[in-house]
Amino acid sequence: MSTVTKTNNISFFQQLQRFIIRPFMNEEEKLELRHNSRKLRIFTRNNFLVIGLFLIWDIGFFFIQFVEDPNNPRLVSFDPSLTVTLQAYSTPLLDTIASYLYMVGFMGVLTVLFLTFFGEEENAWKYLLAFHTWFVIATIVQFLYPVIVPIRIDPIPSGIRHIRAEVAPWTETLIGIKYAGIPSGHAAGAILLWMTGRERKVEWVRRLGLVCMVVIPILTLYTGDHYIWDVVVSYILCPIIFLGTLRLIKRWEAKKELANTTTS
């Protein structure tokens, strides 16, 4: 006979996470969920932290576009032949799927990612710190080594169409950095999802991350929003920074715990 533990004060993010993953729960987990308190704690330190970081991130991305220079002599470009090859198989259906998944799908990835961060609210700050450490370093790399992606080249290379601008022009207004292709934020989101699922031991998130690591790069190459090298750099650099930050936090906590044990 299973034992159901009643817990109080489930946070807003934990509640939202449980609602999303409910279809994946077994019967015992659903029974526990029904017996748990539904009281939400929205005004917590961690909740304010993630909302604040999201606002800083969004505002920063919005204003970065005003300091970008499309005539920057340091802009770098690569061979766009892979995008030309993929777009040779273009169909109206593929164009629509790719255009909407590029933005809406990516926002879904970020939503699942942050909900997974808050699965254990007391540890959420560690994943948030690791995530924003990656974000800051990636932004610095983008400005030190600015890469102009295929659809931003003027004139646009032969054989390439700006598919998103044709199918979903509203997506252009949501893209802050237009001339900084490397590293790819979309590819980073996919591998972050996989790493977070692995670190948190949430199997369905880990598997979803693996799927995204295959699908998202193909989408960004198809739409001409990235080169293959943008994806490769993200898949190398992102794990080093994200996992490295988590390891440093664990080492710091171990030293702090040892110091407290010694003094007590």
- Give tens-digit pLDDT for 54-69: 677 667 666 665 566 6
Distances (CA, A) of 147 to 129, 144, 153, 220: 26, 10, 10, 15
Fill in the amino acid letter for 199: E
Sole residue written with tokens 């610095």: 140
Closest CA to 54 of 120, 135, 121: 135
Residue 180 lies in a domain: yes
Closest CA to 57 of 167, 177, 157, 172: 177
What integer best gives the mean pLDDT of the chain? 78
Q: Bigger pLDDT: 33 or 182?
A: 182
Q: Answer yes or no: is pLDDT of 19 > 60.
A: no
Burial 112-129 (b: 16+ CB within 10 A, else e): bbbbbbbbebebbbbbbb
Residue 49 lies in a domain: no
- Which of 5-14, 49-58, 128-137 has the weakest average pLDDT? 5-14
Residue 58 lies in a domain: no
Q: What is the predicted pLDDT for the residue at 126?
A: 84
- At 215, the pLDDT band (50, 70, 90 cuts) reads very high
Residue 140 lies in a domain: yes
Q: Answer yes or no: is pLDDT of 44 > 70.
A: no
Q: Answer yes or no: is pLDDT of 222 > 70.
A: yes
Residue 32 lies in a domain: no
Sole residue written with tokens 């609210």: 121
- Which of 19-33, 85-99, 190-204 has the weakest average pLDDT? 19-33
Residue 187 lies in a domain: yes
With a CB cutoff of 8 Å and minimum separation 6, the contacts of 77 are 147, 148, 150, 153
Overall number of domains in the chain: 1
Q: What is the predicted pLDDT for the residue at 2?
A: 41
H or E element in which residue 41 lies: strand 40-41
Question: Which residue range forms the structural domain that includes residue 144?
Answer: 68-263
H or E element in which residue 11 lies: strand 10-11
Q: What is the predicted pLDDT for the residue at 210?
A: 93
Query: How far is Cα 155 from Cα 191, in angstroms, rounded to an integer?
Result: 33
Closest CA to 107 of 175, 203, 19: 175
**Integer distance in angstroms from the first to the last C-alpha of the chain?**
42
Q: What is the predicted pLDDT for the residue at 7?
A: 42
Residue 168 lies in a domain: yes
Beta strand 40-41 pairing with 10-11: parallel
Residue 88 lies in a domain: yes
Predicted model pTM: 0.75
Fill in the amino acid letter for 114: F
